[in-house]
């Protein structure tokens, strides 16, 4: 997620914090210290309420980390690759690979809400026990609030709406019952859009009724609806590209630029004669070294362009998304999406043999939409702008 910074590791998994988390801390701490606790435990000082509000907000964030950590730990133990966890204003996100069985998906998806429900019960039980032993004080009220918040978090996440955990649970159950993963994902995404629109409506009605909390309900509903719509489009794209290899979508030959040229010479000799906003770079041996965009060159001060090599302002190959010609196209695109890229550099034997851009994807999706399912396999050798025999040879070598 853009705008996030790493702050360490939890359970051996990188943890990132989005810039919106401090805003969440302020909102939670202010609401708890200025509204909830004074109503529940009157007669304390403003400093006591503020301190308790801050502690409560921090502990709730810790609960969110445990929620996401449960997803990550169960996924990793099930053989699913986990990239990282990110906290942001509306909760948390764990980046991971796709579970390969409905049982794994069910376990991974259900572990987060289950953790929140267990934490909620523990906090609430501790608060009630403390109240019974010492009376209704600040600590008991804070524990009761944390328990209620975690229970609400667990129950809310179990709503049958992708991308919420409940949507994944629904998808896993439908997948197990029907054996059709794509159809199960489609139903979960559709449910997510419906639930999102319902939440938006409830939030608007709540705001019109004078409740400021309705704004957050509507905001969460908007996030759910938009995310579900995006996942629905991604699932449709995955279905359209099913069975294709990277070589079926790539453009070849590839227009490249020498990485040893200065930025000024690169603009005069390469950019001025080309038609692309991004160009792969190659070294003197013809091996790919990175990708440079016109935006990166334009950001270089004019006075430095005559002395700066274009490779020094390019995105290094290690940070580009590369793929082999015979790799499944959907897997390569998922990897590109994880790294925030929109282009695939196709490398075979250390040589750049093609590139996959957004234009290439639109072209192949449109062409596959024009033919029946029985004919789509025939497009594998005809969609790519390379020689079919050479393409088949490269795919065989990659396999």
> What is the spatial distance between Cα 78 and Cα 97, in angstroms, rounded to a whole number?
11
**CB-CB contact of 394 with 247 (8 Å):** yes
Return the structure tokens found at 43. Answer: 């007669």
**CB-CB contact of 189 with 181 (8 Å):** no
State how far the alpha carbon of 213 is from the alpha carbons of 161, 206, 207, 217, in Å: 21, 7, 7, 7
> What is the spatial distance between Cα 168 and Cα 113, in angstroms, rounded to a whole number?
12
3-class state of residue 159 by DSSP: coil
| Catalytic residue IDs | 68
> What is the spatial distance between Cα 278 and Cα 356, in angstroms, rounded to a whole number?
12
Return the structure tokens found at 247. Answer: 């070589």
The radius of gyration of the chain from alpha carbons, rounded to an integer in Å, stands at 26
Could you tell me the strand order of the sheet in which 13-18 lies?
A: 4-10, 13-18, 82-88, 91-96
What are the residues whose beta carbons fall under 8 Å from the beta carbon of 134, sequence distance 6 or more?
Answer: 140
Residue with tokens 């990277």: 246
DSSP assignment string, 38-76: HHHSTT--HHHHHHHHHHHHHHHHHHHHHHHHHHHHHHH
> What is the phi/psi pair of residue 8, to 5°?
140, -160
Q: Which residues pair with 328 in a beta bridge?
A: 245
Backbone angle region of 350, left / alpha / beta, with phi > 0 → left and psi within -120 to 50 → alpha: left
> What is the spatial distance between Cα 248 and Cα 380, in angstroms, rounded to a whole number?
5
**CB-CB contact of 71 with 96 (8 Å):** yes
Q: How many CB atoms lie within 10 A of CB 294?
A: 14
């Amino acid at each position: 997620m853009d705008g996030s910074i790493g702050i360490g590791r939890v359970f051996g998994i990188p943890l990132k914090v989005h810039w919106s988390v401090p805003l969440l801390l302020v909102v939670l701490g202010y609401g708890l210290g200025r509204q909830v606790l004074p109503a529940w435990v009157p007669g304390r000082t403003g400093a006591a309420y503020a301190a308790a509000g801050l502690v409560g907000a921090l502990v709730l964030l810790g609960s969110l980390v445990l929620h996401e950590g449960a997803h990550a730990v169960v996924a990793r133990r099930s053989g699913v690759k986990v990239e990282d966890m990110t906290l942001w204003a509306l909760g948390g996100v764990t980046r991971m690979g796709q579970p390969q069985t409905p049982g794994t998906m069910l376990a991974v998806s259900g572990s987060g809400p289950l953790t929140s429900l267990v934490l909620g019960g523990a906090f609430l039980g501790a608060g009630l026990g403390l109240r019974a032993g010492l009376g209704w004080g600040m600590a008991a009220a804070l524990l009761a609030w944390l328990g209620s918040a975690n229970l609400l978090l667990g129950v809310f996440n179990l709503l049958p709406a992708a991308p919420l955990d409940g949507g994944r649970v629904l998808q896993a159950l439908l997948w197990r019952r029907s054996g059709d993963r794509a159809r199960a994902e489609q139903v979960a995404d559709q449910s997510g859009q419906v639930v999102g629109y319902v939440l938006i409506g409830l939030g608007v009605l709540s705001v019109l009724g004078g409740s400021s909390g309705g704004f957050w309900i509507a905001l969460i509903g908007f996030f759910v609806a938009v995310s579900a719509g995006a996942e629905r489009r991604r699932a449709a794209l995955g279905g359209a590209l099913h069975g294709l290899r990277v070589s079926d979508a790539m453009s070849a030959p590839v227009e490249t630029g020498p990485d040893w040229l200065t930025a000024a010479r690169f603009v005069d000799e390469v950019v001025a004669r080309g038609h692309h906003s991004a160009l792969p770079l190659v070294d003197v041996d013809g091996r790919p070294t990175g990708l440079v965009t016109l935006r990166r060159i334009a950001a270089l001060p004019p006075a430095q362009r005559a002395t700066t090599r274009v490779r020094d302002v390019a995105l290094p190959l290690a940070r580009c998304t590369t793929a082999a010609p015979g790799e499944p196209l959907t897997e390569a695109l998922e990897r590109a999406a994880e790294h925030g890229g929109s282009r695939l550099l196709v490398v075979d034997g250390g040589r750049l043999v093609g590139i996959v851009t957004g234009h290439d994807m639109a072209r192949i999706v449109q062409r596959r939409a024009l033919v029946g399912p029985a004919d789509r396999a025939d497009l594998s050798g005809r969609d790519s702008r390379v020689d079919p025999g050479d393409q088949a040879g490269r795919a065989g070598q990659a396999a």
